[in-house]
Amino acid sequence: MRRHYSSFCARPHRAMRPSLVEILVCPYCSQGLALAAGRTRADGDIEDGSLGCDRCNKSYPIRRGIPRFADDETEKYSTNFGWQWSHFRKTQIDAFSGLAESETRFRNETGWLPADLKGRWVLDAGCGAGRFSSIAARWGANVVAIDLASGAVEACALTLREQSLAGDVVQASIYSLPFRKGYFDYVFSLGVLQHTPDPGLAMRSLPRFVAPGGGIAYWIYERRWYQYLMVRNYLRVVSARLPVTANRYLAMALTFILFPVALAMSYIPYVKRLIPFLPISARIRPETSFKQRWEWTVLDTFDSYSARYEFNQRASDVMAALKEAGIDRIQRRPARGMAITGTKSHRPGN
C-alpha cells in the first residue's frame, strides 16, 4: 500500500479540488484529462468547468463542484435513488440522527478501523447521501465518493459540507469509473451492487482500482430461500416499473397501514420474527424515536419497491468474483447480512 497523504485539505467544501485531476482519466480510453476551469473559488477549488480527453475528443462537465461522467441516458435506471437520497438525505447520517448505527455498521461490515483509513485514499462506490463516506472522512480518509444518480452526488456533497468534512464527489457509473487503476488503498460498496444491471460485472470491476495490498469490502443482499415467501418480492414485479411518484405514494400508504401492525408485533416474542415478511421494510429499534422509525421505514420501503434492479447474490459467487479479480484473504464478516472483504494481491498482472 502507498504512503499516507498529508496534503489532504481538511476544510469543508463542495467544490472540486484541482488535485483530483491527477487521478481522473477518461472512462473510455484511460487517458489523462485536461482541466479547463470555468469558475474557481478564492482557495483554488473548482466550482464549474470541464475535463477534456484529447484522445477521444470527449469533454466532461464540472457542475457545482462535481465532475459528471454520466449522461441522462446512463443515469436513467438510478433516477429513483436520486430522488430517495435528496428527500431522505439526513435520515441515515449519524451526525444528524444522533445515532451511531452507520458507524457501527461500517465497522462490522468492513472490519476496518480509523487507524487503517487515516490519510489513505478511499473510494465509496455508490455513496447515496454520503452515509458511509461521512464515516470514512471523519476517520481521516481521503474520500472519493461516486454515484450514478445526480440527486445522490448532490446530496452527498452537501452532507460532507454540512459536517465540515472534506472529500470529493464524482458522478459516474460503477461500470466505467474515471480513475487510475490501482490507486485506492481501500474500496467499499455497501448495499449497492445488487441494484445494478449486472452485479457480477460490478463485483469484478471494482478490484481494478484497489492498490496492491489494499482492502475491498462488499455488502450485498443475500439470496435466501425465504425471500420467495415475501409478498414484496412479488409486488416488485409491478412496482419496479412504476414512476418515482407512484412508488413514493405506495411506500407512504403501506407504511401508514402496516407500521402500527409491525410496531405491535415487535412487543410479542416469536411473533416479531415475522415482521420481515410484512410488505414493508419496518425499522423498529429501541434506541430510535417514533419519528425516526417511521421515516426510516418509509425510506426502506420506497427503496425496496422502486429499485429497477434487485439481484440477490450467493456468498460463494461473490467470493469467486473477487478471487477472479485478484483478491486474496477473502472472508465473510460476522456482520448482519452478507458482508465480504478481501485484500488485493501483490501478484503481477492483478
Per-residue model confidence (pLDDT) at position 194 = 96
* Mean pLDDT, residues 254-280: 95
* Mean pLDDT, residues 187-215: 97
* Mean pLDDT, residues 92-99: 94
pLDDT digits (tens, 9 = 90+) for 212-237: 999 999 999 999 998 888 999 999 99
Does 3 have pLDDT greater than 60?
no
Per-residue model confidence (pLDDT) at position 323 = 96
- Give strand pairing partners of 50: 36, 61
pLDDT digits (tens, 9 = 90+) for 99-148: 999 999 999 999 999 999 999 999 999 999 999 999 999 999 999 999 99
Cα–Cα dist 115/77, whole Å: 37
Distances (CA, A) of 86 to 34, 74, 78, 165, 168: 31, 19, 13, 19, 18
Residue 2 is given by DSSP the state: P
Of residues 155 and 38, more confidence is placed in 155
Does 7 have pLDDT greater than 70?
no
Per-residue model confidence (pLDDT) at position 307 = 93
Per-residue model confidence (pLDDT) at position 276 = 92
What are the DSSP calls for 71-98, one per residue? -HHHHGGGHHHHHHHHHTTTTT-HHHHS
Per-residue model confidence (pLDDT) at position 16 = 87
* Mean pLDDT, residues 191-201: 96
Cα–Cα dist 112/135, whole Å: 11
pLDDT digits (tens, 9 = 90+) for 280-331: 999 998 889 999 999 999 999 999 999 999 999 999 999 999 999 999 999 9
Per-residue model confidence (pLDDT) at position 38 = 80
Cα–Cα dist 219/125, whole Å: 11
8-22, 55-69, 170-184, 251-265: the lowest-pLDDT one: 8-22
Q: How confident is the model at residue 1 (pLDDT cuts 50, 70, 90)?
A: low
* Mean pLDDT, residues 198-214: 97
Per-residue model confidence (pLDDT) at position 17 = 84
Question: By the 8 A CB rule, do 54 and 63 touch?
Answer: no
CA 194, 137, 99, 111 torsion-angle sign: positive
Per-residue model confidence (pLDDT) at position 8 = 37
**How confident is the prediction for the chain on average, in pLDDT?**
91
Domains of the chain: 66-222+313-344 (3.40.50.150), 227-306 (no CATH)
Q: Kindly state the percentage of the chain with pLDDT values over 90.
A: 82
Does 6 have pLDDT greater than 80?
no
pLDDT digits (tens, 9 = 90+) for 27-57: 999 999 999 878 888 777 889 999 999 999 9
Q: Kindly state the percentage of the chain with pLDDT values over 70.
A: 94
Please state the pTM of the whole predicted model.
0.92
Distances (CA, A) of 84 to 129, 150, 155, 206, 247: 9, 11, 10, 24, 11
**Burial class (CB within 10 angstroms; exposed 0-12, middle 13-18, buried 19+) of 115:** exposed
Distances (CA, A) of 90 to 98, 131, 248, 264: 11, 9, 17, 27
CA 341, 166, 199, 22 torsion-angle sign: negative
